[in-house]
Structure 1
Amino acid sequence: MLDSFPDTVSVYVGRLGAAPAYTRLPDTTHYAASTMKVAVLAALHRSGLDLDAEVPVHNVFESQTTGLFGCTPEYDTDKQVWDRLGGTARLRWLATRMIVQSSNLATNIVLSHIGLPAVEDVWKSVGARHSTTRRGIEDYAARDAGIENLVTAADLAALLTATVAEPELRGVLLAQERTEDLVAGLPPGTRIAHKNGWVHGVRHGAGVVFPDDAPPYAIAVCTSTDLPDADACALVARVSAAAWAQR
């Protein structure tokens, strides 16, 4: 199915705790987009912080180079967090919005409390070999200096597999509201704990599917292509459908 696509589409599919059933360029690195937010979620829950603590909702963050930066409201997908700007919110609520509606502002606020090294520790703990989270969302000065967030399909599958083993985190990922890629390839009502990510030229989906008639399996699809986003979503959905058919 993927033979006609360039070497910028990576896939990992496999049952939890077993060798992968199918891979395609599983160790090729891609810009992470919002898939890195799963590692941020895990790092927060491992931090020991009081997740019910109220913290300021602000939009000024320290760059990984020099100076300060902030998020752009028009580039975010979650108005609810922006509605609280200047007020406070619980860390737990911010972490949930970071996943279910992929809030960039919530992500950077959470990162400001836990720090990037804690996220790197998560990647290391799941055995990731190539993935890294080195800057916040929209830290363009860092991006221009070559400081980037990267993932691979294999590392995302490992991250999701480890994350769903924790019931509270699995619940957050099961509540995902963005369903235009992996979910679109599954029968309606199928349980999937997942996170997607997208920017221009990038569309990723990674999760763990829980069929009623088969063991759960991890799936990660990373696409870095010239496809319009709707076509990239359709491609991810096709891979998801094929994996479901072979469950």
Structure 2
Amino acid sequence: MTKTNLSFTHIALFLLLLLFVDIIHAQSKFKVSNIRSQSVSLDTEIKKAISGFQGNVWIYAKNIDTGRSYELRADERVRTASTIKLAIMVEVFAQVADGSLNWNDKFIIKNKVGGSGILSEFTDGLEVDLKTLVNLMIVVSDNTATNIILDRIGADSVNERMQKLGFKYIRVLRKIGGGGEAKIMKENNNHLFGIGVSTMREMAKLLEMMEKGEIISKKASREMISILRRQQYTDGIGRGLLDTTPIASKSGALDRLRSDVGIIYTRKGRLVIAITIDDMPFVLYNQENPGLKMLWKLSSILQKHL
């Protein structure tokens, strides 16, 4: 091959390399632009959905598999209602793991409280084991089961566990109906939050860590997710899901508040969602509650975009 041919070959290769680099750069710019466009579209659709809604909305959502996320007032403290039972469940599993508790430990049904659950219909004095109490606390959001557990482990131990796990704001404040107050109850206006306080970012992070096997142990995390997948109140973020789309979640309902935190196992990835709706103008305890409908509407939008 002549020197002239070599120089032409080098030039051609150089030009091809420049073209390849330019294509890669263009694709990268397109991807970034597309992601930004999708983010703007998602935010626009969320804002449109809640425009005119009578109530306040807090959101954090993340596709665990792609890393894409969305947030709205995600770091503001909110009332938890029954979603705080997630943190209580974590502490029970931790104490079982270290031997402080045993799943076969027996508890006496007493001091029953109303609201969600079934133990309030049981006869005082009956015995129930710890595993059953935890299942009832999550699966049917049993308030009496929750209080029996808190009488044993204490709100402060739950809060210490959350602190160790890196959560600054997830805190149990008292038992349902009153009593068993945490040490922090009178700090930072905590008394305004009822039974518990959290942020949407931290609630979502707790579920993400659980899904990844990072809470207590892989086995414990897997068992907790299994319980959440059997949770019966799916009229919020899981309201219109197909039977073929699994969800692991915990809902909360209290006067003018509706809250839901969960993982929806979509085809695009595992989508962790935490939404709280509060300050609605009226109290309505049925499936037509506008807060429940809004939870599903926002969930649908997040599933579409994330």
Interval of TM-score (by shorter of Structure 1 and Structure 2): 0.7 to 0.9
Aligned equivalents of 1:191 and 1:58: distance in 2?
35
Give 2:228's aligned amino acid: L
Given that 1:128 and 1:155 are in contact with CA atoms closer than 8 Å, whether structure 2 keeps it comes out as yes
The equivalent of 1:64 in structure 2 is none
Aligned equivalents of 1:177 and 1:237: distance in 2?
16
Aligned equivalents of 1:22 and 1:169: distance in 2?
25
2:199 is matched with which residue: 130, 149, 152? 152
Are residues 1:99 and 2:138 paired? yes
The equivalent of 2:265 in structure 1 is 210
Matches within 5 A, 1:61-100: 71-73=112-114, 76-80=115-119, 82-100=121-139
Aligned equivalents of 1:190 and 1:123: distance in 2?
30
- In structure 2, stretches of 5+ residues that fail to align are 1-48, 214-220
Three-state SS of the structure 1 residue aligned to 2:58 is strand
How many pairs does the alignment contain? 233
Are residues 1:12 and 2:50 paired? no
Max Rg structure: 2
Give 1:52's aligned amino acid: N
1:181 is matched with which residue: 236, 241, 252? 236
Are residues 1:33 and 2:81 paired? yes
Deviations 1:63-86 (A, max 9, x none): xxxxxxxx533xx22224541531
The equivalent of 1:21 in structure 2 is 69
Given that 1:186 and 1:240 are in contact with CA atoms closer than 8 Å, whether structure 2 keeps it comes out as no
Aligned equivalents of 1:201 and 1:187: distance in 2?
28
Aligned equivalents of 2:88 and 2:275: distance in 1?
20
Are residues 1:52 and 2:93 paired? no
Deviations 1:93-151 (A, max 9, x none): 01110011111100011111111122113322443232211211110796996534212
Aligned equivalents of 1:81 and 1:11: distance in 2?
33
Aligned equivalents of 2:164 and 2:305: distance in 1?
30
The equivalent of 1:235 in structure 2 is 294
Given that 2:174 and 2:180 are in contact with CA atoms closer than 8 Å, whether structure 1 keeps it comes out as no
Give 2:176's aligned amino acid: I
The equivalent of 2:169 in structure 1 is 130
Return the TM-score normalized by structure 2.
0.69
Give 1:246's aligned amino acid: H
> Which structure carries more relative contact order (alpha carbon 8 Å, separation 6+)?
1
Alpha-carbon shift at residue 206 of structure 1 (Å)? 0.2
Q: Percent identity?
A: 22
Given that 1:127 and 1:158 are in contact with CA atoms closer than 8 Å, whether structure 2 keeps it comes out as no
2:159 is matched with which residue: 115, 120, 123? 120
The equivalent of 2:276 in structure 1 is 222
Change (3 A) 1:241 1:92: same
More helix by share: 2
- In structure 1, stretches of 5+ residues that fail to align are 60-70
Aligned equivalents of 2:281 and 2:265: distance in 1?
29
Alpha-carbon shift at residue 210 of structure 1 (Å)? 1.2
Change (3 A) 1:84 1:170: farther
- Segments of 4+ moved more than 6 angstroms: none
Give 1:36's aligned amino acid: I
Given that 2:65 and 2:270 are in contact with CA atoms closer than 8 Å, whether structure 1 keeps it comes out as no
Aligned equivalents of 1:198 and 1:110: distance in 2?
20
